[in-house]
Amino acid sequence: MTFAISFRYFGPHIVKDIELFGSVLDLTEKTSKVIAEETLYTSLYKVGIVGKNHILEYLELETQRRAYLPSYQKPRDIVQYIADNSDTFGMNIQYPLHSLQFVMEMGVAIISTRLHNLIVELSLRPQVYDELGEEQRLSMEKYLDNGSLIPFEALDEMVLLDAFIKETIRLAGSSSFIPRYVCQDFVVSNGVTIPKNSLVSFNIYSHNRDTSIFGKNASEFDYKRHIRLGLKLTDTDSSNVMWSAGTEVCAAKLYSIYIIKLILSLIIRNYYIRSHCPIASHLDSNKTSHYSTNTDLSRNSGLYFVSRN
């Protein structure tokens, strides 16, 4: 999954470069071992796709420093876990550090892809933009004493923004989501056997248009449905599988929600987003979203920000 994300993040123009490294990528496993090795980073660094590796430098120093901290001073986080278990990793301490760095980088990458979806969708829906703008105005009024700071409670209270994010991401899901490599023959409940060595994935595109979950207009953009149905972005049930489900729910769900809400709030408070996309002018019907327009007009190069002041 992570590599599917990075392809989207880097964009088609450099997919060719990435393909050069096909030999070091193993896309057939959920968590490929090779992605955690230095080879990939070094290769990407050489062609200028990524910058110097300061994160790894920091993690290396920090794990060494933490090994000497008295127990009452040790933070309960993943870096500490690695420091405390350095014996287990032995000479390969680099392995968990690279993996951790990779999670952080991919986390940033995935947030940026979702923000991209959201900003394009906003640009196409001036009426929704006004409604979200009004919600921001009320929030600013309520939290006037906080100046330009936006407290967590304020983000929690932004129900329209919550619903807008959820609806946009619901309609943007692709047909291949959280792919898995099948290590052994697996019989599913309807008797079908998935043979060993297959790749399977969840069709979130169809799932998110299921009328039994989202109502008759499941294929349309109707962001207030989530408010009517009492659904929130934090949910992790069949109405919201964007964070996955079960035991593998995204470890940074809340962090991502707050970051996305914060960034969108700041944008909405300060700018109007307009699109050069001609589709916007006749997008009155809710039958489409920026993903179903399926056109390069919906790229961010077609957008411009106009200051509210």
In the complex, which residues of this chain contact ligand HEM (CB under 6 A)? 1, 103-104, 107, 110-111, 114, 178, 242-244, 248, 250-252, 255-256
Name the residue nearer to ligand HEM (CB basis): 36 or 242: 242
Q: CB of residue 118 vs ligand HEM: minimum separation in angstroms?
A: 10
Q: Give whichever of 277 and 290 is closer to ligand HEM, judged by the CB atom.
A: 290
Task: Give the nearest distance from C-beta 145 to ligand HEM in angstroms.
Answer: 30
- How far apart (Å, rounded) are the C-alpha atoms in residues 290 and 197? 35
Contact 91, 84 (CB under 8 A): no
Q: In whole angstroms, what is the distance from residue 134 CA to residue 128 CA?
A: 10
Question: Looking at beta carbons, which residue is closest to ligand HEM?
Answer: 107
Q: Which is nearest to 121 in space by CA: 255, 270, 286, 308?
A: 286
Tokens of 137: 């105005």
| Cα–Cα distance, 127 to 281 (Å, whole number) | 12
In angstroms, give the least distance from the CB of 152 to ligand HEM: 17
Return the closest-CA partner of residue 179 out of 248, 237, 238, 117: 248
Query: Is 277 assigned a ligand-binding role in the annotation?
Result: no
- Considering beta carbons, is residue 237 or 296 the nearer one to ligand HEM? 237
Residue with Cβ nearer ligand HEM (43 or 176): 176
Least distance in angstroms from the C-beta of 173 to ligand HEM: 10
In a 10 Å sphere around its CB, with 0-12 CB exposed, 13-18 middle and 19+ buried, how is residue 204 labelled? buried
Residue closer to ligand HEM by CB (options 114, 207) is 114
Q: Closest distance between ligand HEM and the C-beta of residue 106, in Å? A: 7
Report the residue number, 102 or 214, with the smaller CB distance to ligand HEM: 102
Strand residue runs (E) in the chain: 177-181, 186-187, 193-194, 199-202, 271-275, 303-307
Q: Which are the contacts of 56, defined by CB distance < 8 A and separation ≥ 6?
A: 41, 94, 97, 98, 101
Q: Which two tokens stand for residue 190?
A: 């309807």
Q: How far is the CB of 169 from ligand HEM (least distance, A)?
A: 7
273: its two tokens: 């987003």
Binding-site positions for heme read 250
